[in-house]
Structure 1
Amino acid sequence: MARNRFNSSSSQEAELPKAKINKESLNKISGLLKFLKPYRTKFLVGMIFLFLSSLTALAFPALIKVMVGNAQGNPSDYSFLPQTVNEIGFLAFGILFIQSFVSFFRIRLFVEVAEKALADIRKETYFKMITLPMNFFANRRVGELNSRISADLSQIQDTITTTLAEIIRQVILLIGGITLLIITSGKLTLFNLSILPLIVLAGVIFGKKIRKISRDAQDKLAESNTVVEETLQGIGNVKAFVNEAYEANRYDKSLREVVKIAIRGANYRGGFAAFIIFCLFGAILGVIWYGSVLVESGALQVEDLLAYVLYSIFVGAAMGSFPDLYANIQKAIGASERVLEILDEENEAISIHESENQIKEKIQGSLSFKDIEFAYPSRKEITVLNGISFDAQAGEKIAIVGPSGAGKSTIAGLILKFYEAQKGEILFDGKAANNYALTDIRQQVAIVPQDVILFGGTILENIAYGKLNATKDEIIKAAQQANAHRFIIGFPEGYDTVVGERGVKLSGGQRQRIAIARALLKDPAILILDEATSSLDSESERLVQEALEILMKGRTSIIIAHRLSTIREANKIIVLDQGKVVESGSHEELIKNEEGLYKHLSALQFEV
């Protein structure tokens, strides 16, 4: 499984999927054009400069033709052009200066428009993503979503800044070049066109083979990279079992497969390159040869032949660039479709503006579940909660216990409205949860999870995440109540200590106490403790438990626990099994039931 995931990720990074270009796909991506509207004036000016740049490029072969003709004593028929070689040379440099000028502003304007439009798309995609419901994230990997914002949008950016402009430029050069080829010499043009189908057919056949071999090489290279990744991640096991030689042989075998495919690909690429070189230079040689025959017979002037060769180079270069440009457009359409999938998702009723997420209706702390039935949207056939009912009065401690998979953590997700129950209702202070604003519920419910995620900032910033406008004194007070202040000031930088990605510089107990300080700062009406002490050592558990007692004081607490010793003082203990409430009562009441699940779980933990 690890290998498959890695291969998929690597392939995605190496080559973005392509989409077919048709009316349906073009209609889909038209949704992104709205991001260009604020910058349409600059975009149109850039297009004008692009058009001028292409036209000036087509003028050079004509000027060279006139210059060479005049040098040979064959004056041009173009009366509007200068008739001396020096004057034509000065005119050519003047046009070259104009082309350089418009090319600078073309690139400058396209890059500005693309960067600003892409920044807008990135912002909207990110804002949309963070306001989507939890079910959206349950069905997708973080790497995949990150790729939408990075790789996919970078592909769209490249298309707007480079590919789109280059396609228009090459189309102008192609159409203009072919037109001028026909005007210059119809006979040479027919001769040129006769060998074109052969080159195109060879390009299609070789191109497919080369692309397939490239993909195979990428997959095999991804496999070899997986060997490295797995070996380094499990280096302790490798050394403990003295399997260095085995891993070395495995990597060597994988690399040999990569080399074998690469050599096969080199054969195809070499053959294709040889064929193209023969056809390309053969075509130029043939044109010059046939053109020389026409010059010799008096059917063509030398300057016309020179102009024809230059226009042929323009046309050939334009045609040669279209396969890559077309592939880039396919990638951009595919990338656009994936970004639009996110933008078209239905988000939660949460604003990205803090002022619009203020608490409008206070919750005192009473909580009720009434006949709740729930199955995760991604696994609708599996009922996780089946007819769950319980009441928690404001300020009470309600413990929820049961074996793994009984549905304990699902209850926490439903309280926070991460998901909607299929049947039944949840009440806050006797009022249906759906009658509250989503932000009102989440602003007044706090959770301390088992696996605390800390952001890559400072300890101060991580605690302040519970209340973004908190003063430093409030943060320090929360840390003191959470038994975190002492270890924080023990760091050289104190509260300005950077905790690192996922808080890896802190122990589990320290992270838990920062999470408790964060929850204290939030001052919620309802507190959820989702196995907050299950993975701690005895000393850390004692410190965290003391902090939790302060945190739970005066507020409704829903305690999800494996360690039954931590919930003896709960007002009510609800025992879940296979999504149903099988027992409820105080510790003293439940421990007396010899046949009960609670008694059985207590015995397993040696709690009599």
Structure 2
Amino acid sequence: MAKRSSGEPLREEEKRRINKTSLQQLAGVFKFMVPYKGIFILGLVALVFSSVTLMAFPRLSGELLDIASGKPKYFSTINQAALALLGILFVQGIFSFIRVYTFSIVTERGMADVRKSIYQKIIWMPLSFFDNRRVGELMSRMIADIETLQGTFSFTLAELLRQIITLITGTVIIFYLAPTLTAFMLLTFPVLVLSALVFGKFIRKLSKTTQDTLASANVIVEESFQSVSVVKAFTNESFEINRYSTAINTVVNTALRGARYRGLFISFIVFVLFGGIVAVGWKGASLVQAQAITTGELFSFILYTSFIGFSIAGLGDIYTQLQRSIGASERVLDILHEKDENINEPVVPVKLHGDISFEHVSFAYPTRNDFTVLKDLNFHIAPGEKVALVGQSGSGKSTIINLLMRFYGAKQGSIQVDGKDIHDFNLTAYRQNIGIVPQEVILFGGTILENIAYGKPGATLEEIHAAARKANAYEFIESFPDKFGTIVGERGVKLSGGQRQRIAIARAILKDPAILILDEATSSLDAHSEVLVQQALEKLMEGRTTIIIAHRLSTIKKVDRIFVIKEGMLAETGSHAELTRLDNGIYSNLLKLQLQ
């Protein structure tokens, strides 16, 4: 993700009013710096000394001219003044190093704590949290927002303090050096600064408009490239070219309009800024001629004025960065304040037998509260029983699994395992008893060994090999040059569908769950792979309570019972043989349709 420079205009969602409340919001992130407060205070002290020491530089530079014109104040020779200047620069350099290094220590360690806290918080969030947020948004919190805060605490905060110290100290000094010239400058420069700020704001708005129009043009490119087959199928190449050309022409016209104003802005700034310098120089030369101040004092005054001018200019960027930081802190703290599934208590392992009961369960997803998916659902599954869930898409099969896994909580009714409400179990200990083999297997980008071991972190090599053998995966794994060290690629793309399924089965076997969930694990496989996977699944199901979400009814003939779900309710139940004998039954009709 590309970082945006501080000079870019703020997007609407980045604009934040800087007041007491918003600064308190930003300070909420500062608690992560508290463990390193000693180092931070040392950095602040070094910052103050660095800034104050540097403020002696303009005065001693002016002293060189005063010595040369025969009007020394502090030193008698040019060499002494030059050595004093070098000494100031050396001391200032030491303090600057201490400030940069200490602030970096505090920021790096503090932001590492923020990253770990946010990742820990997100990974413990319930599935309902992810229903309302895109992965890209969460990645932005983890990367862009924390980078913004990191820049604030390592650079922006230090710069803000340094500019304030420079502004205050410099103003006091020039009042002391040349009060008349200072008063003249203060009558001139505020008008120039305000004019520049207003004009600059207008230019930034034009720049944002150009960026927006370019983004619109890029959307056309992205859409046409992603849907190039549709473009070609409808022979709309010329249409897309014209559409893109029109958008680019708009970008060019907007950019040229901005360039005209930007040119005027630069000309205005050069004229007004140097005009102000000429005015101050004219007044200063008049005071030197009248012997009201020395040449060296005038030179020092000009240097101090430059320091003050740079400080005022720098505060604009700092203000923009603070606005971004306040927005970033709000988004980060919003996540940290969310309620998660981590109850911070020791996990006491529990061994379930797999007796499952749904009693008057009703449920609607939080994102669709107006649509009830399950309606007064009741059923019982005995330990070790193999049950298949059958029904049309949207009937509630996956929702039953989501509730059993405690991904969501039932709206009404209760779900019990081994005679105990599932919410009375420690969540981690409870889920350790459930294994799942999904239809679309997701593997992590590491090795085959790491992906199988994910079912039981800390498993021995012998246990992993045994699980691979039971899953009919050992043979193909050993055929690879790197064997169990083979990299599977992102989401397992380097393996075939059947190979991924068998690794997922090996992972489930290694976990040794009391309750097994199979989401039609063979539906997308070829005949040869399906046979191998089916054999592995039969070994996996031995002695476990198994719930199978079935799409192809031919794969569930051997289960103990079949639950036919229709519109969130249990419509039919029985074995394959029993349900096929029902005249005009839902299951028998579905079977006839598939056989056709």
Q: Which residues in structure 2 correspond to 1:375-386 (within 5 Å)?
A: 375-386=364-375
C-alpha separation in 2, matches of 1:508 and 1:429: 35
* In the alignment, structure 1 residue 397 sits paired with structure 2 residue 390: no
- Structure 1 residue 14: deviation in Å? 8.7
2:141 matched to which residue of 1? 148
- Structure 1 residue 110: deviation in Å? 0.9
Q: 1:349 to 1:97 in 2, by over 3 A?
A: closer
- Amino acid of the residue matched to residue 456 of structure 1? G
SS at match of 1:315: helix
- Structure 1 residue 216: deviation in Å? 2.8
Deviates more, 1:187-196 or 1:489-498: 187-196
Deviates more, 1:576-585 or 1:456-465: 576-585
Q: Which residues in structure 2 correspond to 1:204-603 (within 5 Å)?
A: 204-238=197-231, 244-349=237-342, 358-603=347-592
* Matched-pair contact (CA < 8 Å) for 2:10–2:320: no
Q: 1:141 to 1:332 in 2, by over 3 A?
A: same
- Amino acid of the residue matched to residue 45 of structure 2? I
SS at match of 2:32: helix
**1:49 pairs with 37, 46, 51, which one?**
46
SS at match of 1:291: helix
C-alpha separation in 1, matches of 2:483 and 2:239: 47
C-alpha separation in 2, matches of 1:262 and 1:390: 67
C-alpha separation in 1, matches of 2:287 and 2:496: 86
SS at match of 1:605: helix
The answer for unaligned runs of 5 or more in structure 2 is: 1-7
* In the alignment, structure 1 residue 33 sits paired with structure 2 residue 21: no
* Matched-pair contact (CA < 8 Å) for 2:9–2:205: no
**2:67 pairs with 70, 75, 85, which one?**
70
* In the alignment, structure 1 residue 22 sits paired with structure 2 residue 15: no
1:184 matched to which residue of 2? 177
Q: 1:328 to 1:13 in 2, by over 3 A?
A: closer
Q: Alpha carbon RMSD of aligned pairs, Å?
A: 2.2
- Percent identity between the two aligned chains: 50
C-alpha separation in 2, matches of 1:519 and 1:532: 12
Q: 1:538 to 1:14 in 2, by over 3 A?
A: farther
- Amino acid of the residue matched to residue 29 of structure 1? L
1:137 matched to which residue of 2? 130
C-alpha separation in 2, matches of 1:174 and 1:470: 63
- Structure 1 residue 263: deviation in Å? 2.2
* In the alignment, structure 1 residue 92 sits paired with structure 2 residue 81: no
* Matched-pair contact (CA < 8 Å) for 2:433–2:513: yes
C-alpha separation in 1, matches of 2:319 and 2:414: 54
C-alpha separation in 2, matches of 1:91 and 1:503: 67
- Structure 1 residue 146: deviation in Å? 0.8
C-alpha separation in 2, matches of 1:228 and 1:457: 34
C-alpha separation in 2, matches of 1:569 and 1:215: 65
C-alpha separation in 1, matches of 2:539 and 2:214: 55
* Matched-pair contact (CA < 8 Å) for 1:14–1:218: no
Length-normalised TM-score, structure 1: 0.92
- Structure 1 residue 12: deviation in Å? 12
Q: 1:281 to 1:458 in 2, by over 3 A?
A: same
SS at match of 1:390: strand
2:112 matched to which residue of 1? 119
C-alpha separation in 1, matches of 2:357 and 2:338: 31
C-alpha separation in 2, matches of 1:274 and 1:134: 57
1:548-568 superposed Cα distances (whole Å, 9 cap, x missing partner)? 111111100011111111112
- Amino acid of the residue matched to residue 114 of structure 1? T
- Amino acid of the residue matched to residue 346 of structure 1? K
SS at match of 1:347: coil
* Matched-pair contact (CA < 8 Å) for 1:528–1:557: yes
* Matched-pair contact (CA < 8 Å) for 2:355–2:383: yes
* Matched-pair contact (CA < 8 Å) for 1:444–1:525: yes
C-alpha separation in 2, matches of 1:120 and 1:188: 51
1:148-185 superposed Cα distances (whole Å, 9 cap, x missing partner)? 11110011011111100011001111111111122222
SS at match of 2:14: coil
- Amino acid of the residue matched to residue 66 of structure 2? G
Length-normalised TM-score, structure 2: 0.94
1:373-395 superposed Cα distances (whole Å, 9 cap, x missing partner)? 11112222211111111111111
Deviates more, 1:430-439 or 1:178-187: 178-187
- Amino acid of the residue matched to residue 187 of structure 1? T
Q: 1:215 to 1:537 in 2, by over 3 A?
A: farther
1:243-298 superposed Cα distances (whole Å, 9 cap, x missing partner)? 55554444444333333332222223222222222221111111101211222233
Count of aligned pairs: 589
* Matched-pair contact (CA < 8 Å) for 1:412–1:530: no
- Structure 1 residue 301: deviation in Å? 2.4
C-alpha separation in 2, matches of 1:169 and 1:265: 34
* In the alignment, structure 1 residue 106 sits paired with structure 2 residue 99: yes
- Amino acid of the residue matched to residue 211 of structure 1? R
